[in-house]
Amino acid sequence: MIICVNGGTSRPERLEELEVILAELDAILPTMPGFISSKDYQAEDGEWVNILRFETEEDLAGWRDEGVHKSYQAVVGDYYSAFWVQTAEPHREYIWQEGKRTDGDLSWMFRE
């Protein structure tokens, strides 16, 4: 599993347009090979964070290079005052459940 954490601060004057773009991207994302999940969070200060999970780095690269997504990457500065991306592979995975720790791949927890 590969995890992509991205986020930023949107430009308030472009928020309505950005919401339309994000809805379009959210419709495409689940159709991508290797897609596991996407979750969005918003902080009180206005910054938002998105956590994407894909099966492989190649699958994530497919999303990066998807046509509509790529066209919006070219204008990201029009909609965000700051936008950042970090990718990583899990170094350790475990879950505590019913008082018991279980180690192993947790991608099953995030499948939509």
- Reported as a single tens digit per residue, the pLDDT across 55-74 is 999 999 999 999 999 999 99
Q: How far apart are CA 89 and CA 57, in angstroms?
A: 9
State the pTM of this model.
0.88
Mean pLDDT value across residues 94-105: 94
The CATH architecture to which 2-110 belongs is 2-Layer Sandwich (3.30)
Number of Cβ within a 10 Å radius of residue 1? 20
Return the domain boundaries, the chain.
2-110
Query: How would you list the strands of the sheet with 2-10, edge to edge?
Result: 35-42, 48-54, 2-10, 80-88
Q: How far apart are CA 58 and CA 33, in angstroms?
A: 9
**Confidence label for 112 from pLDDT (cuts 50, 70 and 90):** low
3-state SS, 26-38, equals HHHHHHCCCEEEE
